[in-house]
């Protein structure tokens, strides 16, 4: 495949990078953005939750370790509220202009971190998400995967409210990510996040360009 062909296939796509804590999403998102821009693919990077003024306020509320009393349903709905704002204000307008949107986390995170909490089902999450995102689901969600003990060992900074949860919770999160990808092999791909940054970068690129 030539570079012009690759650029054409990736333009206007809604792509999500997701995965457990410490898997390298932020680094790989940055490297992927640089690569897309080198191909003259106009790309908008966003993060979920966040990006908008309202979304960043919700993000701070969600991740603040002081908010330990927050219930799982409240947590899930706050993520959806921030997502709804980002979709309406940023993502949908960018897609309408033909831009590629590169999102760090999305509904796939809610389906990994909040499903099962306080009896919340995956179907309930999908129904609420469909309203929040106006039915515009990602074209592709790439899960960067690695064993929980090794991914968590990479988290060097002070852990946020959700990162402070016990290891068994995060092991279940990883299982939930992999289950999503297994259930929807058309819109999901799993990429190993183990190895050097460059090895993961090339692995991710091969997966991305082979998906469309």
Residue ranges covered by each domain of the chain: 3-211
Question: What values do phi and psi take at 14, rounded to 5?
Answer: -110, 105
Q: Are 136 and 66 in contact (CB under 8 A)?
A: no
Query: What 3-state class would DSSP assign to 115?
Result: coil
- Position 65 scores a pLDDT of 92
Mean pLDDT confidence for 107-112: 97
Give the closest residue to 145 by CA, choosing from 178, 105, 107.
178
* Sequence-separated contacts (24+) of 40-44 with Cβ below 8 Å: 40/7, 41/7, 41/10, 41/11, 41/100, 42/11, 42/97, 42/98, 42/99, 42/100, 43/99, 43/100, 43/101, 43/102, 44/90, 44/91, 44/94, 44/99, 44/100, 44/101, 44/102
Global pTM?
0.93
- Position 159 scores a pLDDT of 82
Q: pLDDT of 113-135, one tens digit each?
A: 999 989 999 999 999 999 999 99
pLDDT value at 156 more than 70: no
DSSP state of 76: H
DSSP state of 62: H
Query: Whole-angstrom distance between the N-terminal and C-terminal Cα of the chain?
Result: 12
More confident residue, 180 or 7: 180
Q: How far apart are CA 111 and CA 138, in angstroms?
A: 14
Q: How far apart are CA 29 and CA 32, in angstroms?
A: 5
Q: Could you tell me the pLDDT band of residue 7, with boundaries at 50, 70 and 90?
A: confident
Mean pLDDT of the chain: 94
Q: Which CATH number fits domain 3-211: 3.40.50.80, 3.40.50.300, 3.30.1050.10, 3.90.1150.10?
A: 3.40.50.300
Q: pLDDT of 186-204, one tens digit each?
A: 999 999 999 999 999 999 9
pLDDT value at 165 more than 90: no
Q: Give the list of residues 6+ apart from residue 85 with CB closer than 8 angstroms, or none.
A: 52, 54, 55, 58
pLDDT value at 49 more than 60: yes
């Amino acid at each position: 495949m030539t570079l012009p062909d690759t650029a054409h296939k990736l333009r206007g796509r809604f792509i999500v990078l997701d995965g457990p804590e410490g898997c390298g999403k932020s680094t790989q998102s940055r490297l992927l953005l640089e690569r897309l821009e080198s191909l003259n693919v106009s790309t908008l990077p966003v993060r979920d939750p966040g990006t908008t003024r309202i979304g960043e306020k919700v993000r701070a509320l969600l991740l603040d370790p002081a908010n330990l009393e927050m219930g799982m349903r409240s947590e899930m709905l706050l993520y959806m509220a921030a997502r709804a704002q980002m979709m309406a204000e940023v993502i949908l307008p960018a897609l309408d202009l033909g831009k590629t949107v590169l999102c760090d986390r999305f509904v796939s995170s809610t389906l990994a971190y909040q499903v099962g909490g306080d009896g919340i089902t995956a179907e309930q999450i999908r129904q609420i998400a469909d309203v929040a995102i106006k039915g515009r689901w990602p074209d592709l969600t790439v899960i960067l995967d690695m064993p929980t003990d090794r991914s968590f060992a990479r988290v060097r900074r002070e852990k946020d409210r959700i990162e402070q949860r016990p290891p068994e919770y995060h092991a279940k999160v990883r299982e939930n990510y992999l289950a999503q990808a297994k259930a929807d092999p058309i819109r999901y791909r799993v990429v190993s996040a183990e190895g050097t940054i460059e090895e993961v970068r090339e692995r991710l690129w091969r997966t991305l360009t082979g998906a469309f």
